[in-house]
Amino acid sequence: MLRVELSTQLLRIRTLIALACLAAVPALAALAGASHAGHRNGDQGGLFGASTYSALNHTMASLQFIAPLLLPIVVALLACAIASADRDWGTLRYLYVAPVTRSRLLAGKLGAVAVTTLTATGCVLAGGLISGLALFGWHPFHIIGAADLTGGAAAGRVLAATGYTLLCMLSIAAVSFVLGLLLPRGAEALGAAVAFVVAASILNGQPSLHTIAVMLPVHYWQNWTDLFTPAGTARLGTGIVVQIATIALAAGISVLVLHRRDPAA
């Protein structure tokens, strides 16, 4: 079923365009900053300010730029489609009489959500790394106002940042997947998922609504940037717990919905 879901979704033109966009944004950003190669990127600080120093710097800056909105929208698009497309097309009944059991169907869909989320995140990283290599070269990871990271330290932090972002994207993928199962059409589910991300981001920026924002997974999505500051991993733990809890809750609801729903209802 995993192969069925992947071949159905990944071969769609809109999927390929969305993934290409994810890879194109870092490339365009690299072109914009090409004149600053090897120097600080304007007056900006943090990862954005250091993005022009090396390919890895550019990759992490690209991730920081895309992860709050564009990447989750693409991930939500794919997850909603995986959850609802066969129902929208009417092919779900033919899968059941093929016959495919509910458990196999759900396992295939969840696996496909994981693979497509990984692919989407990978597109950002690949786009950033390739364009960074071409325009900024392979140099030690630079941190503004601190010593360059050693190769090992940089690799460890980049891997940790990637893993953490992947986990965050899996949480929005899981939420989108549930919406795709619950709502009648995939388009409605995508709209709801995007609205959730946008609303959560707005909440996140309102200090008076802090108590609500901390309950939402979106609040923790940028915590990985601390890996490249003196704060280090201090805030990652809570973020990891919240993302895993979100994924577990969404997967549990998915199981309940898919196992209890009469496909003909």
**What residues make contact with another protein under the rule CB under 8 A?**
1, 3-4, 7-8, 11-13, 85, 89-91, 93-102, 104-105, 262-265
Nearer to another protein, 7 or 206 (CB): 7
Which residue number, 102 or 235, has a Cβ lying nearer to another protein? Answer: 102
Question: What's 213's DSSP letter?
Answer: H
- Distance (Å, whole) CA 202 – CA 3: 37
Total residue count of the chain as it appears in this document: 265
Q: What's the closest the beta carbon of residue 124 comes to another protein, in angstroms?
A: 25
147 vs 264, which CB is nearer to another protein? 264
Identify the three-state secondary structure at position 235: coil
- The least distance separating another protein from the CB of residue 8, rounded to whole angstroms, comes to 5
At which residue do the structure tokens 């941190």 appear?
A: 143
d(C-alpha 85, C-alpha 88), whole Å: 5
Q: Find the shortest distance in angstroms from Cβ 119 to another protein.
A: 18
Please identify, using beta-carbon distances, which residue of 94 and 138 lies nearer to another protein.
94
Distance between the two ends of the chain, CA-based, in angstroms?
23
At its nearest, how many Å lie between another protein and the CB of residue 108? 9
Which tokens in the block code for residue 215? 């309950």
